[in-house]
Amino acid sequence: MEVEVKQLCALLPSKLSKLGEIAFNLSWTWSRDAQLLFDDLDPVLWESCGHNPVRFLKTVVPDKLQKAAKDKRYLAHYASVVADLAQYMSAATGITSKKSTVRGTTKAKDVIKTWFSQTHGAWQGPVAYMSFEFGLHECLPMYAGGLGVLAADHLKEASDQGLPLVGVGFFYLQGYFTQRITEDGWQEADYSDLDVSSLPLTRVRGKDGLPVIISFDTPTMRVNFQVWKAQVGRVSLLLIDTAGVSENAPYVKSLTQRLYNSDPDMRISQEIVLGIGGVKMLRALGINPVVWHMNEGHPAFSTLERARELVGTGSTFEQAVATLRENTVFTTHTPVPAGNDRFAIWQVDRQLNGVWTELGLTRDAFMKLAVDNEGLYGMTVLALRMARKSNGVSKLHGEVANGMWAWMGSDIPKIGYITNGIHAPTWIARRIGRVYARHLGADWQQRIDDAKLWQTVPSIPDEELWEARRHYKRLLTEFMRDRARTKWSTHTRHPVQTIASGVLLDPHALTIGFARRFPTYKRATLVLRDAKRLVRILNNATMPVQIVYAGKSHPNDEPGKQLIQQLYRMIKNADTSGRMVFIEDYDTSVARHLVWGVDVWMNTPRRPYEASGTSGMKAALNGALNFSILDGWWPEAYNGSNGWAIGTEQNYTDLEAQDTADISSLFGLLESQVVPLYYDRDADGIPRKWLSRVKQSIMTCAPQFSTARMVKQYVNEMYAPLVK
């Protein structure tokens, strides 16, 4: 047991000591029963602690723990959660050799079967899944948006399916940033150091009990880093930390301070540490992956380090690349050029000067590995060239990606696609899950990717589904009011900002959600193109409409921040009657309440720049209807009766014409179909036709867009063929 876990367990009553073990295994993020162990002790503290069980257990009044240790009901619940976690963790690791310092051994008699062990047996090592960000939970703010949440869901599903996988990323001392919106609507970013001692992370230590420190040199810096581990069910996520090593120079310390630094020189340094340092870390810990999966181009330098290892044992560079390619997978996540990191050649010259010599290459040959058609060093180019298998994250994105990188010719194989999914236990609301359990079977989560399972959804009583949906709308309204009240009590808020935070929302009105990052291509302000028509729709006396916005713009993305400002100024306008709101500081907690509580999930990207769009999947599985441009995942999901398609699949070269056509379609559908259907009620006040469409959405989206399907597809199509 790790030192941090032992220390926390020692603070607790002996009858409840395993609460410490539960707190340090992030499987609680998708176990409502585990979360209730903390919520039941002190619900107010649980909320104020940001749903962080480590911080909670270090803060809760000891008398409440002592009282719980004598409560038979609580002890029975506690024993059940402890037993469930022990059984869950008893599954086989899926690895034939257990030499890793971050994996325990499992007795054969205790082993339970998982999908992976039944389907693929055991491999010689894990999949190394490398990503710049992981959105596991709001108490670990090491994510900016969908990429990080998808990466976290990948880890969680790998755990559920028994896939041997180890995550590699960064521990960001200050996370991403805390968003604050001024009275004028301008986004400001606040940064503060996280309290590492109160996070569900343990320090990786060597056999001597001391923290593992890994060091390496580049032409410009000496890098020392320690390693933190997040235990994600059965999967370990290893996080590189340069900020916490006192020997590092200030510049090196800053490399793991904040996510997505806009300084290109620092960005390339970060990617060197993630790629090269990530490989060195796994080697130092005795972990030898059978497959290396680069989630986006950020870890692409890992391929150079692996090539250098092979050249050092006698291979030529060509032989080394041929070897490493055979177990390398790359996933590209964006067709937006700015989302594919590129660096000036002089930066690469400075940061990696001489590396080509160690690889047996000339400088020019080294640069040609990644130089794109504009003369810049592209991380996506390097990743595509070094991977045997590459994929986009939806069918449309796969097609777009092949077009984007067609100039590379036969240097790379065709880019396939594996459409993203969501980790259902994390994202489906408790009451909605109970509805599914009653009508689909208690094991519905284990069978979520079975389309036949969901054919019975139309038989779910309308009354039951409607009552669950109403509950989460009320919960969303209360959530926004509580946040607004908390902000108001700081004496730093203008009254109009409190109105803009949602205190006037009506839990009975049709509520539309729009929550995501705020780059310009997502067109968050599209509805402002016809403000008068928008106001008429919002203020329809018999059929009112509400729109809830949330999202962050990168601190250095001025156009994105301007979009937030434009939107916020409209939200503050009294003409909207408080029916447009903006929730500050979008995180996974806000996301959960929105996908649980809104009636409609609106998405208005400029086609074809939305690679996937997993937030819409989360909303669909909770009973909201998608109202989206036919981009990303939606063309695969939309069947004409499970939501609405804004616009058409036409490709535009005239952006003004595209915006005009899309806003005309958006408002036309709202007025003629979406709003009237929601308010079409029977004598019992139930919108039967609306719920029929909701059931169609659940029935068609649930099996197709879960990470159960996604991870199995990665294993069967990407990982297993390379292992074999």
pLDDT digits (tens, 9 = 90+) for 186-212: 999 999 999 999 999 999 999 999 999
Task: Give domain status of residue 100, yes or no.
Answer: no
**What was the pLDDT predicted at 100?**
47
Examine the fold and report which residue of 30, 62, 89 is the final residue of a domain before the chain moves on.
Answer: 89
- Tokens standing for 392? 């986009």
Strand partners, 378: 342
Residue 324 confidence (pLDDT) above 70: yes
Going by C-alpha positions, the residue among 268, 236, 278 that lies closest to residue 131 is 278
pLDDT band at 290 (very low <50, low <70, confident <90, very high): very high
Segment 602-631 mean pLDDT: 97
Mean pLDDT along residues 563-571: 97
If pLDDT is split at 50, 70 and 90, which confidence band does 261 have? confident
Range of the domain at 81: 3-89
Q: Which parts of 126-265 are beta strand (E)?
A: 127-130, 165-170, 178-181, 187-190, 202-203, 213-217, 222-232, 235-241
Which of 515, 701, 513 lies closest to 617 in space, CA to CA?
701
Residues 122 and 44 in one domain: no
For 663-684, how does the pLDDT look when each residue is reduced to its tens digit (9 = 90+)? 999 999 999 999 999 999 999 9
Q: Please, which pLDDT band fits residue 92 given cuts at 50, 70 and 90?
A: confident
Q: What is the mean pLDDT of the chain?
A: 95
* pLDDT given at position 111: 64
Cα 132 to Cα 461: distance, rounded to the nearest angstrom? 44
Which two three-digit tokens encode residue 542?
């018999």
587 in a domain, yes or no? yes
C-alpha gyration radius of the chain? 25
712: nearest Cα among 136, 118, 299: 118
CATH at 245: 3.40.50.2000
Q: Is residue 218 part of a domain?
A: yes
Report yes or no: 27 and 233 within 8 Å, Cβ to Cβ.
yes
Q: What is the mean pLDDT of residues 563-577?
A: 96
Which pLDDT score, from 0 to 100, does residue 339 have? Answer: 86
Distance of alpha carbon 597 from alpha carbon 520, whole angstroms: 26
Report whether pLDDT(43) > 50. yes
Domain count for the chain, please give it. 3
83 and 112 co-located in one domain: no
Distance separating alpha carbons of residues 57 and 54, to the nearest angstrom = 5
Q: Is residue 590 part of a domain?
A: yes
Q: What stretches of 285-316 show up as alpha helix (H) in DSSP?
A: 301-312
Q: Are residues 199 and 83 in the same domain?
A: no
pLDDT in tens, 293-315: 999 999 999 999 999 999 999 99
pLDDT above 90 (res 109): no
Q: What is the pLDDT of residue 389?
A: 97
In a domain, 37, yes or no: yes
Q: What is the pLDDT of residue 102?
A: 56
Q: Does 73 lie in the same domain as 126?
A: no
DSSP 622: T
For residue range 355-385, what is the model confidence (pLDDT) as tens digits?
Answer: 999 999 999 999 999 999 999 999 999 999 9
User: Which residue type is seen at 489?
Assistant: S
Q: Same domain for 80 and 184?
A: no
Residue 97 reports pLDDT greater than 80: no
- pLDDT for the residue numbered 724: 82
Long-range contacts of 96-105 (CB under 8 A, 24+ apart): 96/122, 96/123, 96/124, 97/124, 97/125, 99/286, 100/166, 100/285, 100/286, 100/287, 101/204, 101/206, 101/207, 101/212, 101/285, 101/286, 102/166, 102/204, 102/229, 102/236, 102/238, 102/285, 102/287, 103/236
Residue 499 domain flag: yes
DSSP 45-78: HHHHTTT-HHHHHHHS-HHHHHHHTT-HHHHHHH
**Rounded to an integer, what distance in angstroms lies between the CA atom of residue 326 and that of residue 15?**
51
Residue 16, Cα to own-chain centre: how many angstroms? 32
Q: Is the domain of 301 the same as that of 397?
A: yes
Q: Supply the pLDDT for residue 106.
A: 41
User: For residue range 478-494, what is the model confidence (pLDDT) as tens digits?
Assistant: 999 999 999 999 888 89
My answer on whether 287 and 402 are in the same domain is yes
Tell me the average pLDDT across 397-416: 94
Pairing between strand 165-170 and 328-331? unpaired
pLDDT of amino acid 93: 81
Q: Band of the pLDDT at 107, cuts 50, 70, 90?
A: very low
Assess whether 46 and 134 both reside in one domain: no
**Single-letter amino acid code for the residue at 213:** I
> Residues 510, 659: one domain?
yes
Q: What angle do CA 335, 180, 198 make, to 5 degrees?
A: 90
Q: Is the pLDDT of residue 262 over 90?
A: no
- How many Cα atoms are found within 13 Å in the side-chain-facing hemisphere of 659? 14
pLDDT, position 3:
94
**Same domain, yes or no: 268 and 355:** yes
For the chain, what is the largest distance between any 2 Cα atoms, rounded to a whole number of angstroms? 80
CA 659 to chain centre: 29
Question: Does one domain contain both 556 and 657?
Answer: yes
- Residues 416-429 pLDDT 10s: 999 999 999 999 99
Band of residue 108 on the pLDDT scale cut at 50, 70, 90: very low
Q: Are 561 and 187 in contact (CB under 8 A)?
A: yes
What is the pLDDT, as a whole number, of residue 542? 97
Let me know if residue 538 belongs to a domain: yes
User: How far is 69 from 34, CA to CA, in rounded Å?
Assistant: 16
Question: Does 428 map to a domain?
Answer: no
**Could you tell me the pLDDT band of residue 411, with boundaries at 50, 70 and 90?**
confident
For residue 110, what pLDDT band results from cuts at 50, 70 and 90? low
370-388 CB burial, b ≥16 within 10 A, e <16:
bbbeeebbbbbbbbbbbbb
Residue 96: predicted pLDDT? 83
The one-letter amino acid at 673: Q
Question: Do both 535 and 597 map to the same domain?
Answer: yes
